[in-house]
Amino acid sequence: MKIVIETSTLVSGSIFWEYELKGKTFSLKHRFFKKCNDVFMCFKGKGMEDNVIITKTVETKRKTR
């Protein structure tokens, strides 16, 4: 079974940066990081990495007149 994941999910699950400056911790995290990263961790934990296909974002534009 193949699982298709959109690239936006991959990006959301990858954006997390944390650093410390003068005793304060700052972080930058995508608002859907936890949900998206949990999906990838689930696949990894079950050994399903080879069954995941990453696709580009597919969007449709509505034609206006």
How far is the C-alpha of 37 from the C-alpha of 14, rounded, in Å? Answer: 7
Q: pLDDT of 18-65, one tens digit each?
A: 999 999 999 999 999 999 999 889 988 988 888 888 787 655 556 665
The predicted model scores a pTM of: 0.64
Query: Residue 28: what pLDDT?
Result: 93
Does residue 50 or residue 17 have the better pLDDT?
17
